[in-house]
Amino acid sequence: MCGLTGFLSTPAPADELTAAVRAMSSAIVHRGPDDDGHFVDAANGLALGFRRLAIVDLSAAGHQPMTSASDRFVMAFNGEVYNYEAIRAELPPQAYRGHSDTEVMLAAFEEWGVEAAVKRFIGMFAFALWDRRERRLHLVRDRMGVKPMYYGFVRNTFVFGSELKALRRHPDFDADVDRNAVAAYLRNLYVPAPLSIDRGIFKQLPGTIVTVTPGSRSLQTTTYWSAKEAAERGVARPFLGSEEDACAALDTLLRDAVALRMVADVPLGVFLSGGIDSSLVTALMQVQASQPVKTFTIGFHEDAYDEAKYAAAIAKHLGTAHTELYVTPQDALDVIPKLPRLYDEPFADSSQIPTYLVSVMARRHVTVSLSGEGGDEVFGGYRRYFEGQRLLRAFRPVPPPLRRALGHGLTRIAPSSWDRLFRAARPLLPRRFREPQAGAQLHKLGRVLSARELSELYFEVMAHWNDVVPGVAVPPPDRAAWPRLDSVQLMMYLDQITYLPDDILAKVDRASMAASLEAREPLLDHRVVELAWSLPLSMKVRGGQGKVILRRILDRYVPQSLIDRPKMGFKVPIDAWLSGPLRDWAEELLSERRLRDYGLVDPAPIRHAWAEQLAGRGRWQDHLWAVLMLQAWMEDRQQTCSGRQPNDHVRRPTVERIQTATPPDRSRPLALPDRH
């Protein structure tokens, strides 16, 4: 796991190119504190910069950028190709300088070509490959979008890198804030690909190769793996065995995916939340490990959000070496000023806070940590999958014209007017109708009633702020590009190509790399994803429950009594914090003056939501967190542009409360630490 950056411009002196790319790579030193390297091709205006976090082959033989044996290819590579030993065995014998996956990848490009080689890779990766013979620069991103890559033109220079902060260090960088990206962010709580918050800079789509040549402003994009094709192929060629056969096949494949991700020349562990996905990954690690696996958990003092006690029980059952940290509001306060710099663009998944804290904690013990990301999107874990079905079934008997008319009627009245009406009628209403956020809920119901199919309902369920960026509207999705799937499968597909890479994986990548920790996701091995698409939907979503087949496999390793409970997710008590220890900070950023100063949003609906949140009349915490993260990001941007020091003066997250349990003997029960 590392960081890369670079640019392709007009020919220039080598020392000039080197100085520019060094400045860019210095911005991402956190992604690779162990080593740095630079390569320039002055005649072609090409510069590559690299920061290394040494995981496999810790010697100088793993130094990057690395040149192939024939000198044709030069590569800066972020990520891991886990099956590099198997690929090496397929290649003609040659003298290798070391035993890194990078060197094997370069040999594969020489033997098979870029696209054919990439199709053989099992792993997570984003890399820049300069073909000196063909004078072509290839940017490649992994199939599921685990590792990031940004790119774009600034003036006449093509810039690229793992994080936006590196691109912003190029002397020609002058991009403005993209208001379309702001509107899309406020709707989704993240900036969806291919947009970035900087106008003219884009996120590379997963499974693609972007190619550019010197002197050209045209880009060639090749899709070497398509989520759409994987979904359609799986549904067209379904798994033909029984559910027991499917469990056996998936168990075997998951064991292999986990085993591949346990290969490292440094200590490794696993994030254990106590949910199905992380518990299964932990179990599969432990049964293949020669010693107790190191597990790491974050807990909250608020019982409604705390899963640490469940993780502790699972750790005890599996016999892991368990470490946990309980998060306080002060921990959140300490992290919040860092968030704009960690993510480079507004990002409002509030679980970014515990994800960063658990990464900092884990990094004190290990350099690599496995995690359970992907289980919900690949195996149907979200409630919206089966609740959406229920809603559509409930409304289907109502004629569509009547449904749409009713929906239109509900949305014609402003949410604030609905709220006043419900407050006045509250004493007369049954308890179940005393909704504190009636206006927003009725508007969402109105849009749901207008939905013709589950995919339309999906976008309404996922939406947060609509029409709060003056003069900008989020365009409707391109339905023509969607695969032909039934309603629930289509929702899972949409999550896999949007929410998963742009929210979940972006969150884990930035949080873990900020702590110089490599995160690995075995449930997103593309072989697992392809097998999952071939399984009948009933093996994933059934009887109002998701991840059916993962539950059955986990039963082999962990008693159901430790798992059977409502899904909580990695939630944070933002609602309590906003009305308590974060209130003054939020009040300042959400003041009408500050909202107007930055000029990105209409202050009226935001001030209304803030007032309702404080009065306890609404649950607007997710909406407000999105605006707060936008405002904090703008504040950091203005401070940086003005030359003032960024607001990064707070101390690092406290770790004195961490307690570690290491089992003295695996034949005896694990003595877990007491929790605060």
CA distance 595 to 602: 8
**DSSP track, 396-408:** TTS-HHHHHHHHH
- Is the bond into 194 cis (omega within 30 degrees of 0)? yes
Contact of 491 with 537, CB cutoff 8 Å: no
CA distance 157 to 169: 13
Beta strands per DSSP E along 443-567: 518-520
In the set 1, 2, 212, 336, the catalytic residue is 2
CA distance 626 to 468: 12
Q: What single letter denotes the amino acid at residue 138?
A: H
**641 a catalytic residue:** no
Return the axis-axis angle of helices 383-395 and 454-462, rounded to nearest 10°: 120
Q: Note the Cα 374 to chain centre separation in Å.
A: 10
Q: Could you tell me which of 60, 67, 63, 62 has the C-alpha nearest to residue 40?
A: 67
Alpha carbons within 13 angstroms on the beta-carbon side of residue 6 total: 31
Beta strands per DSSP E along 477-517: none
- β-bridge mates for residue 545, sequence order: 542
The number of beta carbons lying within 10 Å of the beta carbon of residue 382 is: 20
Unique residue bearing structure tokens 């059955």? 552
In the chain, the N- to C-terminal Cα span, in Å, equals 34
H/E stretch holding 189 reads none
**DSSP track, 192-253:** -TT--SBTTEEEPPTTEEEEE-TT----EEEESS-HHHHHHHHHHS---S-HHHHHHHHHHH
The token duo for 35 is 């080593």
Beta strands per DSSP E along 555-675: 659-661
Please enumerate in sequence order all residues whose Cβ is within 8 A of that of 410, keeping only pairs 6 or more positions apart, or say none: 442, 443, 445, 446, 449
Q: Please give the positions annotated as active site.
A: 2
